[in-house]
Amino acid sequence: MADPTRRATLGAPAPSGRGDADDSLAVRTDGLTKRFGHQVAVDSLDLRVPRGAVYGFLGPNGSGKTTTIRMLLGLVEPTAGSRSLLGLPIPQGATEALHRVGSLVEGPAFHPYLSGRANLVRLDAADLLADPRTSAERIDRALDRVGLRAAAGKRYRAYSLGMRQRLAIAAALLAPRDLLVLDEPTNGLDPQGTREVRNLIGSLASDGTTVLVSSHLLSEVEQICTHLGVMREGRMVAQGTTAEVRGAGVVTVRVETGQPERAAEVLTRMGATSVSTSPTGVRADAGDLEPEAVVAELVRAGVGVRGFALDRPSLEDLFVTLTGEGFDVSG
């Protein structure tokens, strides 16, 4: 029987060597599309989640995140396109793949009058692939992992929102997982609960688990993400490492000068676009221009430069640009 004193962590998964031949991606979709009647919820999506990544799947409400996740998990049939998890095509490889994938799509139904542990016992018993003899061990490990061991005996209804969400993640962790797919795990949480969940995701990732986490709030997940994918109206509008997505913004050059017209000529000649002047200076989209070259050219043209700056948009600004108005970045 399970030895309750035995501790194990969900360590970095050993390379399984199964079905991994095609690439190093934990999640891949090609042309993934879902239509509901005339409405296109997900439009030709090419998702790329590298193994080991914490991938922030971001976009406003209604942009297609949940529909994508449901297709990944085989809960919804795509209209077109293909998807694979851990190198295994879905639905053909679903049985093998999904055993290695933990998910939180819509919070599992927990019984309010049962303790956290008793709820996990019920869920574990429902997993036909799980060995009932090692149930207690699995449950203790999952409770440990989310920091709920001490509160395991409390009734679910006495849990804070953060504890409830951590229990939901514990349920996703009952079996060792290579990939966790979490749909809006911080939804409805207060700042404390959000922090708890964020820290938990960070520590799972540092153990080597790949995490795909969706959110309509950039600020809630951005700090822990190695990669970002930004959705707008069913389409991916930016995807890459966090640094790449950050670098995708238009850089603005600002020159303070008493000769704005002459400065504008120089910038235009050098290839800057959207050049606009004001009585005190000029601003333009810098494109690939090197600041050193711009300053040298301005000076050579006899422009008296009083101030010079390159403005890179904040990630927040970039998201508003990418996703349109109404993207709630304030938290």
Residue 48 or 65: which CB sits closer to ligand ADP?
65
Mark residues 2-31: x for contact with ligand ADP by CB under 6 A, - for none.
------------------------------
Please state the closest distance from residue 83 (CB atom) to ligand ADP, in A: 15
Q: How far is 217 from 200, CA to CA, in rounded Å?
A: 18
Taking CB under 6 A as the criterion, the residue among 27, 47, 55, 64 binding ligand ADP is 64
Instruction: State yes or no: residue 63 binds Mg ion (CB under 5 A).
Output: no
What, of Mg ion, ligand ADP, none, does residue 59 touch, CB below 5 to 8 Å by kind? Answer: ligand ADP
Answer yes or no whether residue 65 interacts with ligand ADP by CB under 6 A. yes
Among 66, 165, 215, 323, binds Mg ion (CB under 5 A): 66
Q: Does 59 bind ligand ADP (CB under 6 A)?
A: yes
259 binds Mg ion (CB under 5 A): no
Instruction: Single out the residue of 31, 62, 91, 331 in contact with ligand ADP (rule: CB under 6 A).
Output: 62
In the complex, the smallest distance separating the C-beta of residue 160 from ligand ADP, rounded to whole angstroms, is 25
Chain positions contacting ligand ADP, by CB under 6 A:
36, 41, 59, 61-67
